Amino acid sequence: MSLQKILEYRRSVRRFDEEKELDTEKVKHCIELATLAPNSSNMQLWEFYHITDPEMLKKISHACLDQKATETAKQVVVFVTRRDLHRKRSKEILEFEKGNIARNSPPEKQERRWKDRQIYYNYLMPFIYSRFFGLLGIFRKILSTFISLFRPMITSLSESDMRVVVHKTCGLAAQTFMIAMAEIGYDTCPLEGFDSHRVKKLLKLPCSAEINMIIPCGIRKGTGGIWGERFRVPFNEVYKNI
What is the CATH architecture of 3-85+161-227? 3-Layer(aba) Sandwich (3.40)
pLDDT in the model for residue 227: 82
Q: Name the pLDDT band for 209 (thresholds 50, 70, 90).
A: very high
pLDDT at 1: 85
Give the Cβ contact number of residue 73 at 10 Å.
29
What is the average per-residue pLDDT within 52-76? 97
What pLDDT sits at residue 46?
98
- Please enumerate in sequence order all residues whose Cβ is within 8 A of that of 240, keeping only pairs 6 or more positions apart, or say none: none
Contact 77, 205 (CB under 8 A): no
- Give the pLDDT score at 221: 86
220 touches 226 (CB < 8 A): yes
Helices (H), 120-153: 125-129, 135-148
Length of the chain, please?
242
pLDDT at 117: 97
**Least confident segment among 82-91, 109-118, 157-166, 226-235:** 226-235
**Domain coordinates in residue numbering, the chain:** 3-85+161-227, 86-142
Task: Give yes or no for residue 101 having a pLDDT over 80.
Answer: yes
pTM of the model as a whole: 0.94
